[in-house]
Structures are given as structure tokens and as C-alpha cells.
């Protein structure tokens, strides 16, 4: 399917690896020029090079922490005039509800709620002026069904979801859509490290931990970054202009819901 976005320009935050990289690759495959970001410059440059080689698009890289004010200023300057924004950042650490204090919440809210809001506030006006734009926020299945140990993530991402629900309806008249993609378990570094946590907690091997976690998913496997990226690219396509303010689960059926 021709996504109809060849020649457009996208900012994909936190995109040297994992789900962000999947989104960058899928947009590049549709002919979209990119601004890519991550903290580690080596992995970022390697991923950008491989995308340039595979897809012949222009890729600008900004190595910085996207959750810091300085990093945000750098990325926003490079991304002026983009047509597409994909927000992403690392997730907060797991823990117990009674252990988190104000500073832990402020950090989680900064990373997973206020950072995407900062990017939307900076880049939505340019999209609205042009009468076309697409925003996809990478959130989590924990927005639909809580993951108890990830209370910081549950709280911050639900706050972002509330903001998007109203804002998406305010910018839609200008041809701009905002939607959220909610990953379940995908085979990325983060999933591998969570497998490692389960393995050491239960005294089993990492392979056994993964087999046990896969068994909880009706699709009986983890998702791939390529599948995730393809869904993101579709939401950013010309075909998705009537999809507004939605929260789309990509979880192999793991979240047991009727609607
Ligand atoms: P990942 O494989 O660990 O990749 C994270 C990417 O983001 C890397 O490129 C990393 O590069 C970059 N990054 C992290 N923090 C950053 C920061 N502060 N500033 C700039 N770049 C940053 O993670 P993932 O699995 O793709 O997860 C992406 C998001 O989806 C996370 O918020 C995660 O909690 C959420 N999620 C993932 C899953 C899953 O199963 N994979 C499920 C639900 C939710 P650097 O480290 O070099 O900065």
C-alpha cells in the first residue's frame, strides 16, 4: 500500500533501538525524511546510517536526553516544520506503590507525560498552519490495564492519555491527528531486561522466563519492532486522517478486554 507520505519529514524521539527505531524504519520505507534522537551517539549513528542506506532518505541525528530541557530545545530546533511527530522515551523503573516519593513521580511525569506534551506544544502549530500533521505517542498497554509493579508508568502515561484525548479533538479541525500506540510485550532490549528480572526473581533461565511470559500472550510470542513500526507508519499515512484520539493496543491479545 502506498502510504502517500513520501517527501514528508518526521521527528522520531528515542529511536536508535526498539520501538522508536521500528517507527523510524517504517516511515523511512514510506519515503519520509527523519530527525532521529537517542542519548547514545554510537547506536544512533549506526541506526541512522543503516536507514539512509536502506531507504535513501535524509536522516538528521540529535544525540541528547529527550527528557531534559536542554535536549528538548535542541531537538525542537532541528525538528521545526516537521509533518510527523512520534514521541517516545525510556519507561520508569518498576517498584512498589509505597516506595515512590514525590521526586520519583516528578521524574516519571517529566519523562512519560510532560516530555511528549512539550513536543506537541512546540510542533503542532506548524502542522496546523500547513493543514496537515500526524502525531503518534508511544505509551503502553498499562494505560488500558494496570501493571502493578509499573505504577509510575501507569500514572504518567494515563495523564498523557487524558491530555491527548482532549487535544486531539482541538487540532483535528486543522487536519492534524493525534493517536497513541499501546505496546504489549515486544522483543526489544527493554523486554530482554524484564525477562532477566523475571529469571532472577524466580531462579529460572532467561529462556524459561521468556517462554513463561510468551505463554501469557494469546499470540504466544512477543511483538516485533517491524510490526510496531508498520502500525505507526499507517497512523501517519494519508489513509488514517479519520483516526483521531485513539488508543490502539498492539499486544497479541494479552490485555483481556472486550472493547
Ligand atoms: P528500548 O529497546 O530500551 O529502546 C529505547 C530507545 O529509546 C533507545 O534508542 C534509547 O537509546 C532511547 N532512549 C531511552 N531513553 C531516552 C532518553 N531519555 N532520551 C533519548 N532517547 C532515549 O525500549 P523499547 O522497548 O523500544 O520501549 C520504548 C518505550 O515503550 C518505553 O517507554 C517502554 O517503557 C515502552 N514499552 C515497551 C514495551 C516493550 O515490550 N518493549 C512494552 C510496553 C511499553 P539511548 O539509551 O541511547 O538513549
Distance 184 CA to ligand 1 centre (A): 13
Pocket probe for ligand 1: among 35, 38, 90, 229, the residue whose CB has the most ligand atoms within 8 Å is 90
Distance 190 CA to ligand 1 centre (A): 7
Distance 204 CA to ligand 1 centre (A): 25
For ligand 1, is residue 210 a contact (CB within 6 Å)? Answer: no
Which region, left, alpha or beta, applies to residue 44 given φ > 0 means left and ψ of -120 to 50 means alpha?
Answer: alpha
For the chain, give the mean pLDDT. Answer: 97
pLDDT tens per residue across span 63-85: 999 999 999 999 999 999 999 99
For ligand 1, is residue 67 a contact (CB within 6 Å)? Answer: yes
pLDDT tens per residue across span 7-22: 999 999 999 999 999 9
Share of the chain above pLDDT 70, in %: 100
Residue 242 has pLDDT above 90, yes or no: yes
For ligand 1, is residue 49 a contact (CB within 6 Å)? Answer: no
Q: What is the pLDDT of residue 193?
A: 86
Distance 118 CA to ligand 1 centre (A): 18
pLDDT band with cut points at 50, 70 and 90 for residue 197: confident
Comparing CA positions, the residue from 61, 60, 67 lying closest to residue 44 is 61
* pTM given for the model: 0.98
For ligand 1, is residue 22 a contact (CB within 6 Å)? Answer: no
Q: What is the pLDDT of residue 14?
A: 98
pLDDT tens per residue across span 142-193: 999 999 999 999 999 999 999 999 999 999 999 999 999 999 999 999 888 8
Least confident span in 122-131, 174-183, 184-193, 243-252: 184-193
Which ligand 1 atom is the nearest neighbour of the CA of 185? 40
For ligand 1, is residue 156 a contact (CB within 6 Å)? Answer: no
Comparing CA positions, the residue from 194, 157, 216 lying closest to residue 18 is 194
Q: What is the pLDDT of residue 18?
A: 97
For ligand 1, is residue 161 a contact (CB within 6 Å)? Answer: no
Amino acid at each position: 500500500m502506498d502510504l502517500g507520505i513520501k517527501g514528508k519529514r518526521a521527528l522520531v524521539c528515542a529511536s536508535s533501538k526498539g520501538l522508536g527505531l521500528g517507527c523510524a524504519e517504517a516511515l523511512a520505507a514510506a519515503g519520509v525524511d527523519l530527525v532521529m534522537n537517542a542519548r547514545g551517539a554510537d547506536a544512533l549513528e549506526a541506526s541512522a546510517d543503516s536507514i539512509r542506506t536502506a531507504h535513501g532518505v535524509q536522516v538528521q541525528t540529535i544525540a541528547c536526553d529527550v527528557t531534559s530541557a536542554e535536549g528538548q530545545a535542541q531537538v525542537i530546533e532541528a525538528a521545526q516544520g516537521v509533518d510527523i511527530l512520534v514521541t517516545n522515551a525510556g519507561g520508569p523503573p518498576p517498584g512498589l506503590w509505597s516506595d515512590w516519593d514525590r521526586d520519583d513521580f516528578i521524574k516519571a511525569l517529566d519523562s512519560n507525560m510532560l516530555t511528549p506534551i512539550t513536543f506537541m506544544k512546540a510542533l503542532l502549530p506548524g502542522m496546523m498552519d500547513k493543514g496537515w500533521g500526524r502525531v503518534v505517542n508511544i505509551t503502553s498497554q498499562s494505560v488500558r490495564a494496570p501493571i502493578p509493579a509499573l505504577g509510575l508508568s501507569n500514572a504518567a502515561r494515563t495523564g498523557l492519555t487524558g491530555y491527548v484525548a482532549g487535544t486531539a479533538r482541538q487540532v483535528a479541525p486543522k487536519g492534524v491527528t493525534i493517536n497513541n500506540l499501546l505496546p504489549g510485550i515486544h522483543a526489544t532490549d527493554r523486554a530482554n531486561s524484564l525477562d532477566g528480572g523475571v529469571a532472577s526473581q524466580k531462579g529460572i533461565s532467561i529462556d524459561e522466563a521468556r517462554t513463561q511470559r510468551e505463554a501469557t500472550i494469546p499470540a504466544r510470542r512477543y511483538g516485533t519492532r517491524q510490526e510496531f513500526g508498520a502500525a505507526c507508519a499507517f497512523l501517519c499515512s494519508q489513509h488514517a486522517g479519520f483516526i483521531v484520539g485513539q488508543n490502539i493496543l498492539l499486544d497479541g491479545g494479552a490485555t483481556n478486554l472486550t472493547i
